[in-house]
Amino acid sequence: MKLMTSNRTTRSASTLAMVLFLVLLQGCTAMSRPRAVPDDPEFAPVRPQAMMQRDSASGSIYQVSRNYNFYGDTVALNVGDVLTVILEESTRASKNAETSITKDNEVTLPEPTILGKSNFGINTSLNHERDFEGSAEADQSNSLAGSITVTVTEVLPNGVLRIRGEKWLSLTNGDEYIRLTGLVRPQDIQPDNTVASNRIADARFAYGGTGDFDQANQMGWLARFFNSEWWPL
């Protein structure tokens, strides 16, 4: 008897340890998201390639490698040129979902007749009813305004410019950053060397921060577990 009780206690302890391990694993997985750091090579500026090469001495004032435009505005056209992006982003999404399922089952077994006798008292009936109702609602809106100056990293064969850059602001309780990558047509660049963010193709915007305010807006590991797909309720 004592041996059976000990085995049950061991199994219960093992089950509890497994549940706690899954909770900790889920929490640690959610907490291990990558942190943004300044001077990331993926967003670092590039050196102007045109300035790194020299033309042969021909006595001409105009140099092909510089690609200067004498009849237009001075805007970003070459690798290494800077371009100011005016951030004008505003998005809003809303979604509603409702689910309702009802299922009824009824089974009746009548009294059998055996050798002319039917009063055996074994008639049976089964009733089963199942209902499920669920609803979900999500509403999200975001807006981003400001400006960021980026650099041209590549000029595609069709003249489209690939841009990237980041801007960091060091505040009292942490840092805030804006990162941007995308493709820009030279025709969309204004005479003052600016372009609207809604004119950028394949745009990737990232706005975030580090420090006390960023940590205060994050959900704890235990709360993330209860809001994850691992929680059965």
DSSP secondary structure string for all residues of 170-199: EETTEEEEEEEEEEE-GGGS-TTSEEEGGG
Whether 83 and 153 share a structural domain: yes
Does residue 169 sit in the same domain as residue 111?
Answer: no
* End-to-end CA separation in angstroms for the chain: 36
Number of domain units in the chain: 2
Tell me: do 165 and 180 sit in the same domain: yes
Both 148 and 84 in one domain: the answer is: yes
Statement to judge: residues 83 and 179 lie in one domain: yes
- pLDDT for the residue 132: 76
Supply the pLDDT for residue 44. Answer: 76
- Whole-model pTM? 0.57
114 plus 190 within the same structural domain: no
Q: Is the CB of residue 209 less than 8 Å from the CB of residue 218?
A: no
Unique residue bearing structure tokens 């500026």: 45
Say yes or no: 100 and 213 in one domain.
no
Determine which of 68-77, 82-91, 181-190 has the lowest per-residue pLDDT on average: 68-77
Query: Could you tell me if residue 108 is inside a domain?
Result: yes
Looking at the structure, tell me whether residues 176 and 204 fall in a common domain: yes
**Domain boundary at 75, 104, 137, which?**
137
Whether 230 is covered by a domain: the verdict is: no
Look-up: residue for tokens 């410019």? 161
Contact, 150 vs 82, CB < 8 A?
yes
Q: What is the pLDDT of residues 73-109, one digit of tens each?
A: 567 788 888 999 999 888 888 888 888 888 887 777 6
Assigned domain for 28 exists? no
Q: Report whether 200 contacts 191 (CB < 8 A).
A: no
Q: Quote the domain boundaries for residue 122.
A: 96-137
pLDDT value of residue 31: 46
Say if 178 falls within a structural domain.
Answer: yes
Averaged pLDDT score across all residues of the chain: 75
